[in-house]
Amino acid sequence: MFSVTACKDFSNKVLGKGELKDTLTEKLVVKEKIPHLLNRWDSLQKNQIQFTVDSLHPVPIKQQKRELKDSLRKAFDTYPKHIYLTFDDGPLIGSAFIDSIAKEKNIKVSVFLIGKHANMSKGRKRDLARYESNPLIACYNHSYTHANNQYSRFYNNPQNAFADFEKNEKDLNLKHKIVRLPGRNIWIYDDVRKIDLKNGSSTADLLHKNGYTIYGWDVEWRLNSITGAPIQSQESTLSHIRNYMNNKSSMVPNNVVFLMHDDMFQTQKGQQELSSLIDALKKDGYQFEFMQDYPIKY
């Protein structure tokens, strides 16, 4: 049992009056907070809710389901919506811009890093140092070699793949055990396990068994890295994100994980695209979050 009185010897000078008790209470409350909406939503998705047809007011089950889904959607809409800007494969040319735009727009940004890229040149080392010293940027693990872009071969040897992530964690001194697999959209966290390509699942399971959380993405945006020209237009990417938020079709309702790559932002054109996209997301009222806080449940 936890006892608040055990802490009474700490002086208020160190902790601030009532601060310790309040922080602990807050933590307990957050930990015990039950995500009622999400639980109900998940049960509906998994067909675990029993519907019955009342003979006096016969409403078809299909319609009852639709109505419940709509009412849950509306209930989710009364809560904040969270966007996770994630940038993969850095440090690369383009990383310096991501570092500066996070500050300029005052938004949280998540980067999934490749150790091999950090060791390529002084410039990339400098980019890494920028990321590390920016409190608005959280650094995570995307493997040391990025599978040398030979994904099947990489994942056919889960032990070696696992060692590659460990090397990256050590080399880059990463503080969070959060990874994204190169070339795979795989999620393993809490009681969720979603695999896109089976080859890759053994590596993901091995990582998870060793305390790592694996995150994929909901929406991806691509630009031509040489010209900065969008491969998917900004409007279509924005509407993709808005649809996910409004229809609750992302992995977790009200949370959208958005994937981009550092090298997309090496040209002025690409940089302007990102800047205006962030402005649009802000205008929509979305809150920018770190992946370590994913998912925010209601």
| Choices 13-21, 80-88, 91-99, 278-286 (CB under 5 A): range interacting with Zn ion | 80-88
Q: How far is the CB of 116 from Zn ion (least distance, A)?
A: 12
Q: How far is the CB of 277 from Zn ion (least distance, A)?
A: 20
Strands 192-194 and 213-214: unpaired
Nearer to Zn ion, 216 or 295 (CB): 216
| Choices 85-93, 132-140, 237-245, 265-273 (CB under 5 A): range interacting with Zn ion | 85-93
Q: How far is the CB of 259 from Zn ion (least distance, A)?
A: 9
Residue pair 154/142 in contact (Cβ under 8 Å)? The answer is: no
Q: Which residue sits closest to Zn ion, CB atoms considered?
A: 88
Residue from 38, 87, 89, 252 touching Zn ion (CB under 5 A): that is 89
Q: How far is the CB of 185 from Zn ion (least distance, A)?
A: 11
**88 interacts with Zn ion by CB under 5 A:** yes
**182 interacts with Zn ion by CB under 5 A:** yes
Nearer to Zn ion, 145 or 237 (CB): 145
* Binding footprint of Zn ion on the chain (CB under 5 A): 88-89, 182
